[in-house]
Amino acid sequence: MAQLITGTDLARQFKSAVKENVTNIQKRDPQFAPTLIIVQVGARPDSNVYVRMKRKASEETGIRCVHKNFAEDVNEYELLQAIEGFNNDPSVHGIIVQLPLPSQLNEQTITEAVSPEKDVDGFCEANLGKLAKRGCEPSFVACTPRGVMELLKHYNVSLSGKNAVVIGRSNIVGRPMSVLLERANCTVTLCHSKTADIAQFTKTADIVVAAVGIPRFVKAEWLKPGCVVIDVGINYIPDATKKSGSRLVGDVDFDNAVKVAGAITPVPGSVGPMTVAMLMQNVYESALRFRAIARQHNVSLLPLKLQDPVPSDIEAARSQTPKHIAKLASEIGISASELELYGPYKGKVNLNILKRLNHRKDGHYVVVTGITPTPFGEGKSTVTAGLVQALSHLDKLAIACVRQPSQGPTFGIKGGAAGGGYAQFIPMEEFNLHLTGDIHAITAANNLLAAAIDTRMFHESTQKDADLFNRLVPAKKGVREFSPVMFYRLKKLGINKTNPDDLTPEEKTKFARLDIDPDTITWHRTLDVNDRFLRKITVGQNPTEKGRTRETGFDISVASECMSVLALSKDLKDMRERLGRMVVASSKTGEAITADDLGVGGALAVLMKDAIKPNLMQTIEGTPALVHAGPFANISIGASSILADRIALKIAGTEADEDPKKDAGYVVTEAGFASDIGMEKFFNIKCRNSGLVPGAVVLVATVKALKLHGGGPSVSPGKPLPDVYLREDVELVRKGCSNLKKHIENARKFGLPVVVAINKYVSDTAAEVAAIREEALAAGASDAVVSNHWAEGGKGALDLAKALIHACENEEHNFHFTYDLDLPIEKKIEIIAKEMYGADGIELSPLAQERMQRFKEQGYNNLPICIAKTQYSLSHDPDLKGAPTGFTVPIRDMRLSAGAGFIYPLAAAIMTIPGLPTRPAYYNIDLDENENIVGLM
């Protein structure tokens, strides 16, 4: 009698091992949850049995099993959409389609829709093809053939050099079985039910695998005495002795074959249990693979084609072929379902990624700021790009979080703001222009609110109270209902009624009549272009407005409070609430009038619902960058969005069993202008809102800029550069370091280490650089490092990256804010002026005092402060270079951004929409004969 090769005990061992492995990993990593999706269409009794069996095995192994049962008449498109959703869900590790399918569905189309990386059944074209191709490994091996190989191994069946016959050519068993036996060095013959005289092959076979699907097809007389017989068949034949009326038999005549074979598998009790066990093993291994991929973050660096001299920024950018943005997303662990493509090189990241990665500890957080800006340009964006490129060269996951440039400066003076040389963001044309339309959405929302203000005043002035209420809450089919947005105003008024007809006449008047005081309107219209002639305009000139004219003006779009709201929102709901809270004016009785009072808060959120998703782009070396929001730094907070930072920090973060210092990646973001403006607002406003705390500050300085701060002659666009900026002058550099020292001092006041990045120019000398380093270290910097990323890309910033890593991983952090929120408004302004600017104090104009008093009365005293002042000096006077002292900061006006959540005083003469110079950058911008954009910097 043949030895019985049973699989029940071995299958139990495999399932126990899977259970133990899953449990052990979950002790270290609670987020580890291998998940199998079973797709079933209809409710065939035999399919139900198989599904129950797989669900039971999942329970036994600690695998999460989700049974998705679709109606018998489901259409193919709907089913394919569901499978695509499972493919794109990072929490799903295995998908099986329970066969057979109803006749209206194409089985080949449906099963091939399953991603090869999740095809735990192992019979899609990609996995079968890789199994058959020499030198390739599939993601999965079909469960039954894999189980057979494990049985043969367990029973010490020798395979090398043996003759094997496989009967059956299905993709599920026969074909993969023959390949696996061949890989084990068997000589394999593949037969099937149509093969003539199968016995001539089986009689010489050492191993026979029967998978033809015909009861007792293989006869005992076909077998070579002592051979090994593997019966894969599952066939039901009539049997009156059984309660069910049938019994299960295999493809082999077992009762007779057992007397000839040396070893044989019984049916049931051998291959079946192993098939289910291998399915569980495949799901477990898939979960391990996805876990490893999620932690690897293998960002492939794009090679640079360096040129000397370095070409123009746009030429350098065009010398590189960017990665497809979906590839970059995959490299950093963003799933296909979390990325919305906007062409091949940019996409929006869905906020759902924060839920998936919420368990991770944040990565290292770094902010880049600079010394007081000069016409030379200090290169913060270039340093940001170069630094993330360098960190990637050091095998650190690094993500840049930067603002989207406004088209105002792009067409005005700067000509672009994507970095430069071999440290920039690409495609730089898209980065500098429309990108994904976020700024246009801001503009549309801002101007809708502006229109709502004038419209409401017009209609209130032309209608009686009752008529106004009836038009705001019209009866439809005899029933009046408040719009959802109207409940914000009702709540504010203390009216708890939900039926409009229940309001008293007095309540209806209070609800309907905002009674806006035109002199208190602070909301301007916007556009994303520098246009000085729109700073003050008159609206209402048309006869249809019946003489209701008023003076107003335009701001540049990135100065809109809508942009600040975008940058500071934590999620879509938070953005909706903030937009509704924006104060646009006061009533004649002093009540703050908000966007929700006007009924427009929800509409603003609708216009900005896509803008809230950060944009994924890349540097010139193919490292990731999240580009999002762009509030002006001298008017607003000057930082990219909290959401972009949070997403990046989770992507770069660590799992529970990883070292949060050594294994974490780096998020490098940028604060607009210098430490006195952008960095101060970054910490006191953005970090206060987000709860995120950076580990270090990178302070950018250049030799040329420090010479200007040391008393060097002024420079102007289009004029020859004075000789002092092109030759060595160490003393002038040292004098200018007074400005550098003040910015180091400012950063250190927040309790963080400071690394000075000396952005290299060709004309810099070793002595000048040494002087900067000496002065920086004496002022308290952790290090001061020359960086040549502009000419060399990431490799030129390696020393800077190493200094930053050392600061983040080894130096003490003791972060704290500059002021407490419960201090009076004027005291908070004074603290900023003294601590950050070096002023003796502040002076409030009568207008500023009047506005401040109104804000206090309206309940806005506890907001942080966002001072709008010149970026060209630590003081309010752009002509005062270096580190001026002995000055008083004049506060001429004060405005409220209640939705964004800050008060912004205006120091001296600050324009909320820039003007164009005599020769704007648009003179250089055009299309060439090949329709390529030229002239961007």
Active site residues: 54, 98, 121
d(CA 667, CA 607): 29
How far is 415 from 825, CA to CA, in rounded Å? 38
DSSP per residue, 587-642: BTTSPEEETTTTT-HHHHHHHTTTTTSPEEEEETTS-EEEE-----TTTS--B--H
**Rounded-to-integer distance, Cα 752 and Cα 811, Å:** 9
Residue 293: C-alpha distances to residues 276, 358, 364, 834 (Å): 26, 18, 20, 50
What lies within 8 Å, CB to CB, of 503 at 6+ separation is: 469, 495, 497, 511
- The Cα 702–Cα 700 span in angstroms is 7
- Cβ within 8 Å of residue 626, ≥6 positions away: 349, 399, 400, 401, 402, 614, 615, 616, 617, 640, 644, 647, 648
- The interaxial angle of helices 8-28 and 143-154, nearest 10 deg, is 110
Helix (H, G, I), strand (E, B) or coil at 712: coil
Closest CA to 452 of 588, 594, 562, 564: 594
Residue 441: both structure tokens together: 């959405």
Secondary element (H or E) of residue 888: strand 888-897
Tell which phi-psi region holds residue 367, choosing left (phi > 0), alpha (psi between -120 and 50) or beta. beta
Cβ count near 680 (within 10 Å): 28
Q: Which amino acid is at 514?
A: L
Q: State the Cα–Cα distance between residues 95 and 781, nearest whole angstrom.
A: 54
**Interstrand relation of 525-527 and 207-210 (parallel, antiparallel or unpaired):** unpaired
In the numeric block, the tokens 């209070």 are attached to: 510
Cα separation, 763 vs 664, in Å, equals 37
Phi and psi at 425, nearest 5°, equal: -105, 135
**SS3 annotation, 244-285:** CCEEEECCECHHHHCCCCCEECCCCCCHHHHHHHHHHHHHHH
Residue with tokens 């002659």: 713
> Cβ distance 426 to 322 under 8 Å?
yes
Size of the chain, expressed as the number of residues it contains? 937
